[in-house]
Amino acid sequence: MSLKKCLEIIARYYPSFLLGIRTTLLVSLSGTLIGLLIGLLVGGIRAIRLDKTASRFARILKLFSDILARIYIEIFRGTPMMVQAVFIYYFIYTNVIRWDKMVAAVFVISINTGAYMAEIVRSGIQAVDPGQNEAARSLGMSSMQTMMSVVLPQAIRNAFPAIGNELIVNIKDSSVLLIISITELMFQSNSIAGTTYRFTETYFVTAMIYLIMTSISSIVLNMIEKRINNTKTSLPQSDTSFSSITIARKGVQHVSH
């Protein structure tokens, strides 16, 4: 392998590589985000624990959605994404609608990620101290209010490293989507290698590009994580709060005298 050849390949084929990078990032970023939304919904439903006041209807609904969620998670974690991609793409294409490959790619990576995210979110929710839930309920907050304002923000904070990990996995694993011939980086690399017959050099460049993309993602994710964990003050102290402090102080002084 010669580095000179690598540089030649980059110089000659960089537009193809760039298109590949763009597609890979587009598919993996949107797939991770949509997957997170699916995970919040499915994981959230899985983590709900009904109390004694729940109606019979709620209980049946919960049981039913639990079973559906389990089936979804088992299927998409238990089969390779490459197989999911070809099967879903061709199944929908021949039976339902002649859909765009890019849409299919984002769809597949989203529901695949959603299955993993559901488990990440569920364990994140379950790792939140039950005392937080009890405190919120003891103040009269409903279970939905408690989930949205208290439990979920903490669960996401706890699970953030695992959520970020999914993005990095998706940047790499979107390479299997070449099976439905979208122009992601691996697909582009195959075409370049096929034209130049320089397999070693081409795939070395490809590997380096993946490594750069995942490294940058790691750095960005770490920065976001630091910010999330560093919530010293969420409310800026406005003028009104200063004046109200003095009012409150005066008020109490009057009472105490």
Partner 1 sequence: MSLIEVKNVRKTFDGMTVLSDISFEVKQGEVVCLIGPSGSGKSTMLRCINLLEDIDEGSINVCGEEIGSIRDINAYRRKVGMVFQQFNLFSNMNVIDNCILAQVKVLKRSKEEARQTALQYLQQVGMIDFANASVSTLSGGQKQRVAIARALCMNPQILLFDEPTSALDPEMVGEVLSVIRDLADEDMTMIIVTHEMAFARDVADKVIFMDDGVVLEEGDPSQIFNHPKNERTKQFLSRILYENSAVQ
Candidate residues 15, 97, 140, 226; the one interacting with partner 1 per rule CB under 8 A: 140
| Burial tier of 59 (Cβ tally within 10 Å: 0-12, 13-18, 19+) | exposed
55 binds partner 1 (CB under 8 A): no
- Among the candidate windows 59-67, 72-80, 128-136, 178-186, which touches partner 1 by CB under 8 A? 128-136
The interface mask with partner 1, positions 226-245, x = CB under 8 A, is -----xxxxx-x--xx--xx
* Secondary structure, 3-state, 96-164: CCCCCHHHHHHHHHHHHHHHHHHHHHHHHHHCCCHHHHHHHHHCCCCHHHHHHHHHHHHHHHHHHHHHH
Residues 149-168 within binding reach of partner 1 (CB under 8 A): 149-150, 153-154, 157
Q: How far is the CB of 131 from partner 1 (least distance, A)?
A: 4
Both tokens of 15, joined, read: 């537009």
215 binds partner 1 (CB under 8 A): no
d(CA 118, CA 77): 11
Give the binding site for partner 1 (CB under 8 A): 52-53, 129, 131-132, 134-142, 145, 149-150, 153-154, 157, 231-235, 237, 240-241, 244-245, 248-249, 251-252
